[in-house]
Copies of this chain bind each other. A is one copy, B any other.
Amino acid sequence: MSNHPYSPRDLILPDFTPNLRSVSDVHAWNGAATFLVMYGIWVLAGRSSLKLSKTDKWLMIWWAVSGLIHIIHEGYWLFSPEFYKDKSGNYFAEVWKEYCKGDSRYASRHSAVVGIEGIAVIIVGPASLFAVYAIAKGKSYSYILQLALALVQFYGSTLYFITAFLEGDNFAMDRDHYYKYFIAQGGTWLLFPALIIIRCWKKISAACEFQDQKKAKFY
């Protein structure tokens, strides 16, 4: 008999401790914190000396929210291999115990997941917050920075899914958590980065073309 609810059933997690909070409690705190960050960035962006477009404000929100998730949530996980033993009701431990219902590789510390998350925590997280600043200040390198970060997020998420599928796609405890957590939440990190890649690619191509044309004219 397994002492945890996760799949596969033969996964061994000594001293696993179930969550103290309810599922809706964990989601509510997450939702409230996300909403606060979104609201704060929207207000800050409105005060910028530049007239930022709505798209730019939403991009600042994406990089702030995803950057903070990389640093805080994923950072906690990266350095807490025994989070599933937590008995104190630590909020982040409870978030990850809940997410493991959709992908137990976060409990078993699958090497590809640790690698992808390690890069996200150490490189992508801080650089995402820097992208918020770059957009707010209208820096020339803002598009290329966003393109690079979105590519890393997109590639990481692609590998996240491919490795699960190649190993039998049996890491969710039921269909419900499979779709809600693994597919929908994981898919978020494919969808938004893809949109950002397309937008930045167009912007950068246009700038390179502009330069080529001007230089062809004058020199």
A contact set with B: CB distance below 8 Å: 111-112, 114-116, 118-119, 138, 140-141, 143-144, 147-148, 151-152, 155-156, 158-159, 162-163, 166-167, 201, 204-212, 214
Contacts and interface: CB of A to CB of B under 8 A. Distances in A.
Contact of A140 (B111, B115, B208): B208
A214 B204 contact: no
A156 B162 CA distance: 13
Number of copies: 2
A114 B205 CA distance: 32
Please report whether the interface of chain A is mostly helix, strand, loop or mixed according to DSSP.
helix
Contacts of A162: 111, 114-115, 118-119
A218 to B, nearest CB: 11
B208 A167 contact: no
Given A204-B208, A210-B210, 9 more contacts: A112-B163, A115-B163, A141-B205, A147-B147, A148-B201, A151-B152, A155-B155, A155-B156, A214-B214
